[in-house]
Structure 1
Amino acid sequence: MTESTDTMITPGLEDLLSKVDSKFTLVSLAAMRSRQINSYYNQLDGGIGSVVPPQVASVARKPLSIAFEEIDADKITFERFDPEERARLEAEALAAAEADAAMLEVVPDLEA
């Protein structure tokens, strides 16, 4: 007979780990999102801000608990970047920007 016990983390750690690829990713993702949620609540007095509000209806008061609930609800995800792929994309973007700049230099001044 399996009995469900209430833990400090709701949703459970096993559920959260199934949403990410490692414990490190879970910790990093939850910490980053909880800082964003904390910033959102801190900027409410100042008017409209640029931080995204919590994406789930929660009874939790702690930003980290809200972040865990968002991860469990698939509202917050992560994406792995390959360093070599990122370097290639940055090189392509730089080459395109340089080509655009070169085209601007070739265009004759029409007001002369």
Structure 2
Amino acid sequence: MTWQHDTMMNPPIEGLLERADSKFRLVTLGAKRARQINSYFGQLGDGPGQLVPPQVTSVARKPLSIAFEEIAADKIEAVQIDPEALAAEAQAEADAIAAAAKSSGE
């Protein structure tokens, strides 16, 4: 009789890699979400906050494990950002700040 041994990581890495196009994106996405979850638990009791609570019911107590469970459940997904649009937005913001500084200095 053969058993299926649980891996060190639950959900298994193979299933998580199907949700992201690279290991780097998976780790980045998991780390960012884990930081948000950790901040959410840190601000409990301080009144309503701006952070999104965990999107899955989990027995895991670690924010990174909860984040990976959210990714496996398709609650969190990576979004591609166009670098040119991001640069144009940053330039427009810098121009607005420069214009405001120039008008307040006159």
Q: Tell me how many residue pairs correspond in the alignment.
A: 93
Supply the distance in 1 between the matched residues of 2:34 and 2:86 (Cα, whole angstroms): 27
Unaligned runs of 5+ in 2: 97-106
Q: Deviations over 1:3-50 (max 9, x none)?
A: 522122111000000000000000000000000000000100211111
Q: What do residues 73-101 of structure 1 show as CA deviations (whole Å, max 9, x unaligned)? A: 0000111122124445x39xx5xxx9xxx
Aligned twin of 1:66? 66
Give the 4+ runs in structure 1 shifted more than 4 A.
Answer: none
Superposition TM-score, scaled by structure 2 size: 0.77
1:79 aligns with 79
2:15 equivalent to 1:12: no
Which 5+ residue runs of structure 1 have no aligned equivalent? Answer: 99-112
Query: In terms of Rg, which structure is larger?
Result: 1
Give me the CA root mean square deviation: 2.3
Report 1:1-112 matches (<5 A).
3-87=3-87, 90=89, 94=92
TM-score of the two chains, using structure 1 as the length reference: 0.73
Identity of aligned residues (%): 62
| C-alpha deviation, 1:57, in angstroms | 0.6
Q: Which residue in 2 is equivalent to 1:109?
A: none
